[in-house]
């Protein structure tokens, strides 16, 4: 036996501290390799820390809500020696034969996971993704499997012949009940159509969505992630007429930390470092909405979320190619013009505002870009955005239209020199072909760092984006 101290690792380049959000273990618990120990919150993401050791937790050195410096011990684990392997078979004869077979299968699975973890190396799992939850999930499913065969095994009673007729009468009845239970679930679902996987149910709970009010669009009548998110957007806080009642406490004080602290520092640094200049333009987005509708009906985009943001993102990258200075970075000594686009998308999450970015978005097809936006959005809402997605952005889009806002003055993301705000798209009177007609109109707003982006460059860039929004067919040229 030996005691190993687990230090808080640097899960992102330059991380100096992190907050312990929640512990998944306590003193005295037995942990396995790659089992999740705790969740930590870095500047703008929550990361699961897997265990690099097997053994028993001796002590936790930090409590939930405590901020810990990188490199400091957060817990100690008493690792199991060779004697632990010899103790396990000694306890095996106390279990029934059926349990022995299951324990053997479980041991094989555990050894397989341990081997995979050893081959992958410690550095590959410390970011908290991939291997942490899989062993626990598989074992839980297997632990429930042996319980089912024991039930039909108790139905026949050959040792008591006098009870055979009742037993035989009950066996078909039980079999019939089981047979009816399976197809019976379909009518039950049709009466109350709530077919959703556990992650979808959790998402609905987090967003405050009643699944019974959501219209499912899945192939088998199940509720999908898009269904839940769409319903949440339709029943947004701006349409909620209920007003919460203040409690007896007159004031609430909250420590400035985590996402709020990182956002505050970034915005202050940006506003008082980069001289902002903001431009606005109204755009007829009718053809963009028609294009989005055609993409949604296309088999090539089946199962992929398509929205006007996709077209605007593609328009931004087209405009950047024509005005590369808006995709640059400034320092007092030099500025760097980047011939690639790591497209940032501002995301409002339950934890606050974050700006993850899509690496090399300029090299993606329209379908690939749609998938990347969808996956980035889901990770942000689930609090699973890795630190690597928060770095090295080159240009940002903030979609304030989803909140019903027409436009705004966006603040430049530090390290970049430009940001575009997409307003809501709605019917307005518009002069089209010399007549006033109802058209789908939006307002684009863009802020630039005036140290590097001159007014003519900013104007040409915004005009180029507006051109694509007005006529998205130009993207196909």
**Residues 133-161 as b or e (16 or more Cβ within 10 Å = b):** bebeeebeeeeeeeeeeeeeeeeeeeeee
Give the integer Cα–Cα distance in Å for 346 and 330. 21
Q: Is 163 a catalytic residue?
A: no
If you write DSSP's letter for every residue of 199-267 in order, what string do you get? HHHHHHHHHT--GGGS---STTSPPPHHHHHHHHHHT-GGG----PPP-S-S-------HHHHHHHHHH
d(Cα 424, Cα 462) in Å, to the nearest integer?
17
Burial of 103 (0-12, 13-18, 19+ CB in 10 A): middle
β pairing state of 418-422 and 395-399: parallel
Residues contacting residue 322 through CB under 8 Å, at least 6 positions apart: 460, 461, 464
For residue 401, give every residue at least 6 positions away whose Cβ sits within 8 Å of its Cβ, in sequence order, or none: 308, 422, 423, 424, 425, 442
Structure tokens at 329: 């970075």
Out of 73, 276, 367, 450, the active site residue is: 450
- H or E stretch at 39: strand 36-41
Q: How far apart are CA 137 and CA 325, in angstroms?
A: 49
Distance separating alpha carbons of residues 417 and 338, to the nearest angstrom = 11
220: Cβ–Cβ under 8 A, 6 or more apart, which residues?
195
Helix (H, G, I), strand (E, B) or coil at 275: coil
Q: Which residue has the tokens 């499912």?
A: 216
Active site residues: 450
């Amino acid at each position: 036996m030996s005691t190993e101290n687990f230090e808080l690792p640097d899960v992102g380049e330059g991380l100096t501290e992190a907050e312990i959000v929640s512990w998944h273990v306590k003193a005295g618990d037995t942990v396995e390799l790659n089992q999740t120990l705790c969740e930590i919150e870095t500047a703008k993401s929550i990361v699961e820390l897997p265990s690099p050791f097997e053994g028993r937790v001796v002590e936790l050195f930090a409590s939930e809500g405590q901020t810990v410096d990188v490199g400091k011990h957060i817990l100690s684990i008493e690792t199991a020696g060779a004697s632990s392997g010899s103790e396990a078979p000694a306890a095996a004869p106390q279990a029934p034969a059926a349990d022995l077979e299951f324990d053997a299968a479980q041991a094989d699975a555990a050894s397989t996971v341990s081997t995979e973890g050893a081959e992958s190396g410690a550095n590959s799992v410390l970011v908290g993704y991939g291997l942490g939850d899989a062993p626990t999930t598989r074992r839980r499913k297997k632990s429930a499997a042996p319980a089912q065969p024991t039930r039909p095994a108790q139905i026949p009673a050959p040792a008591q012949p006098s009870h055979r007729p009742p037993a035989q009468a009950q066996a078909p009845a039980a079999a019939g009940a089981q047979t009816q239970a399976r197809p019976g679930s379909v009518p039950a679902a049709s009466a109350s159509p709530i077919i959703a996987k556990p992650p979808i149910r959790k998402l609905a709970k987090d967003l405050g969505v009643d699944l019974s009010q959501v219209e499912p669009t899945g192939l088998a009548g199940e509720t999908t992630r898009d269904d839940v998110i769409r319903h949440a957007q339709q029943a947004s806080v701006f349409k909620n007429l209920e007003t919460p009642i203040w409690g007896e406490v007159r004031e609430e004080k909250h420590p400035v930390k985590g996402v709020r602290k990182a956002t505050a520092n970034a915005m202050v640094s940006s506003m008082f470092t980069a001289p902002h200049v903001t431009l606005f333009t109204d755009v007829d987005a009718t053809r963009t909405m028609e294009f989005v509708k055609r993409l949604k009906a296309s088999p090539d985009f089946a199962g992929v979320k398509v929205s006007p943001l996709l077209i605007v993102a593609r328009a931004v990258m087209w405009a950047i190619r024509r005005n590369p200075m808006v995709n640059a970075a400034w320092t007092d000594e030099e500025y760097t013009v980047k011939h690639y686009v790591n497209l940032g998308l501002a995301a409002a999450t339950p934890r606050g505002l974050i700006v993850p970015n899509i690496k090399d978005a300029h090299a993606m097809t329209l379908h690939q870009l749609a998938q990347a936006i969808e996956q980035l959005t889901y990770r942000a809402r689930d609090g699973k955005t890795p630190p690597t997605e928060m770095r090295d952005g080159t240009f940002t889009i903030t979609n304030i239209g989803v909140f019903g806002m027409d436009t705004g003055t966006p603040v430049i993301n530090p390290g970049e020199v430009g940001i575009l705000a997409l307003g809501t798209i709605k019917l307005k009177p518009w002069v089209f072909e010399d007549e006033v007609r109802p058209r789908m109109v939006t307002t684009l707003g863009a802020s630039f760092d005036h140290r590097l982006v001159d007014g003519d460059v900013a104007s040409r860039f915004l005009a180029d984006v507006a051109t694509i929004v007005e006529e998205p067919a130009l993207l196909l040229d």
